[in-house]
Amino acid sequence: MRAFIETIKNIFKIEDLKQRILFTLGILLIYRLGSFIVLPGIDPHALEGLKNQTASGVMGLLDMFSGGAFSNASVFGLGIMPYISASIVVQLLGIAVPYFQRLQKEGESGRRKINQITRYLTVLILLLQAPAYIANLKNQAPEAFAPGFSELATVIILTAGTMFVMWLGEKITDKGIGNGISLIIMIGIIARLPFALIAEFSSRLEQQGGGLVAFLVEIVFLFFVFMATILLVQGTRRIPVQYAKRIVGNKQYGGVRQYIPLKVNAAGVMPIIFAQALMFIPITIAGFANSDTLTGFAAAFSNITGFWYNFVFGILIVLFTYFYTAITINPMQMAEDMKKNGGFIPGIKPGRKTVEFLDTIMSRITLPGSIFLAFVAIMPAFAKIAGINNSFSQFYGGTSLLILVGVVLDTLQQIESHLLMRHYDGLMKSGGRIKGRTGSAASI
C-alpha cells in the first residue's frame, strides 16, 4: 500500500503526465455531463417506456455502451458505436480493396485519408441510425414529444453529438493518456456498474432471495471471471528461437535462447466487438420495434439469453478471432525477419518450413483462445439464466468486461511507461510488466 501511494506521488511529480491525466479526466467529465443533456423537444420525465425497453436484451447492451445516454434520449444517445462500425468497415476494406491497401502503405498521409473516409462513413451510418432511434422513441414514449418537435433538427443533433464524442476521443489520444475512444466506451460502462451493483444487492435482499451470502458468492465468482479475462488478454506462449553461432573477433556467441511471444488471443477485443456489431443488425432492421411484437428471426436474435443468439454470436467470435489474428500476426514477415537476423527455430528449416511451422502454431494456440473468448462473451447469458439481475449480469463477461480489462491494462501501461522514462518505479515494482493489447487490436 505504501509503495502504491509513493507511485501516485511520483505521477504528480511529472508535470507532463499530471497534465495529461487531468486533461483526460476533464474530457471524460464533459462526456458524462453530455450524456444527461436531453434532446430538444423531449420531456425527460416521460421516458419510462424507453427505460423499460433498455432494461434488458439487446437494447440494454446499446444503452450500456453509450453510458446510459441511449435511455436518457441524450444528445449523445447514439454513442460512439457508429464510429466503431465505420472503423471496422474501413479496416476490412483495407484487406480487400487495393485503393485502401495503397493508403495503408502511404504512411502518415495515407492514415489521414483513411481517418477522413472513416469520418464520412460514420456520418452516413448516423444519418441512417438517427431516424431509427427517433422512430423507436416515438414507439416507446409517444407522450415525451413536445409540440413543434423537429425530426430533422433531432437527426442533425444526434449526428453532431456522436461526431463531438469522436472528437473528444481524438483529443484524449493526442493530448491525454491515449486510447481516447476506448476510454470513452470504458467510462460509459463503468458508470453503469454502481447502479447494477446496487440493483443486484437489493434484489437479493428483497425479491430473488439468497440474502447476503448469495450476493457474496456472486462477487467472488465475478472476481474469478475478471482474473480469467486478464489472463486471456495478456496470455502469451513463448516459442524459442535459437540464434546461429556467430564469430566476432576471438569471442564466440552461441547458444543464446530467445523467444517469439505469440499471444493466445492476438486479436484482442476486436472479434467480439465486430461480432456484437453484426448481432445488432437484426434489431436495427426491425426498426427498434417492441420486443414483445417481434417474431421469427428478429425475435430469436433479440433474445440475448436464447440459444440461437449465443450460438451464432460464439461462432462469429471464433471466426473473427482467426481473421484478426491473420491480420495481426504475419508468419511470413516473422520468418523473413528471423532469416535477416541470422536466427532459426531448432529443427525447422528457414524459409517456407518456418512459415508453415509458425502458421501451424498460431492456428493451434488461437483455437483455445477463440473458444475461451466466445465463452467469456456469452457468460452474461448464463449469469442471467442463473437469476442475476440483467444489468449486473453484463459484467460477468461479454464485450463490457473485455473492454474494461483491456483498456485498464493499456492505460496502466501508458502511465508506467511515463514513470519508467523518468527513472521512477513503475506500477509493478516487483519487476513484472503490465502488458496491454498489441497490434491492430490495441485500440478500439
Q: pLDDT per residue over 234-259, tens digit each?
A: 655 555 544 433 333 334 334 445 56
* Residue of higher predicted confidence among 436 and 71: 71
C-alpha grid cell for residue 139? Answer: 414507439
Tell me the mean pLDDT in the region 266-270. 72
Q: What is the CATH number of the domain that holds 310?
A: 1.10.3370.10
Query: Is residue 432's pLDDT more than 70?
Result: no
Tell me the mean pLDDT in the region 97-120. 86
Residue at 93 is within a domain:
no
Tell me the mean pLDDT in the region 278-292. 60
Strand order in the sheet with 343-344: 257-263, 236-243, 343-344
Residue at 410 is within a domain:
yes
CA dihedral 406, 412, 414, 417 (to 10 degrees): -130
pLDDT of residue 158: 92
- Helix/strand/coil percent split, the chain, to 5: 70, 5, 25
- Cβ–Cβ under 8 Å, residues 71 and 63: yes
pLDDT of residue 341: 73
Query: Is residue 109's pLDDT more than 50?
Result: yes
What's the pLDDT tens digit per position in 112-163? 898 899 999 999 989 988 888 888 888 888 888 888 788 899 999 999 999 9
- Cβ–Cβ under 8 Å, residues 262 and 365: yes
pLDDT of residue 246: 38
- Alpha-carbon Rg of the chain, whole angstroms? 24
Residue at 14 is within a domain:
no
- Report the distance separating Cα 397 and Cα 118, nearest Å: 29
Tell me the mean pLDDT in the region 200-204. 79
Residue at 12 is within a domain:
no
pTM of the model: 0.74
Strands 246-248 and 251-253: antiparallel
- If one counts the domains in the chain, the total is 1
What's the pLDDT tens digit per position in 350-360? 788 888 888 88
Residue at 300 is within a domain:
yes
Helix intervals (H) in 303-422: 307-328, 331-340, 352-385, 390-393, 398-421
* Residue of higher predicted confidence among 304 and 79: 79
Residue at 57 is within a domain:
no
Range of the domain at 393: 207-444
pLDDT of residue 252: 39
Residue 123, C-beta contacts closer than 8 angstroms, at least 6 positions apart: 159, 163
pLDDT of residue 121: 92
Query: Is residue 325's pLDDT more than 70?
Result: yes
Residue at 168 is within a domain:
no
Residue at 380 is within a domain:
yes
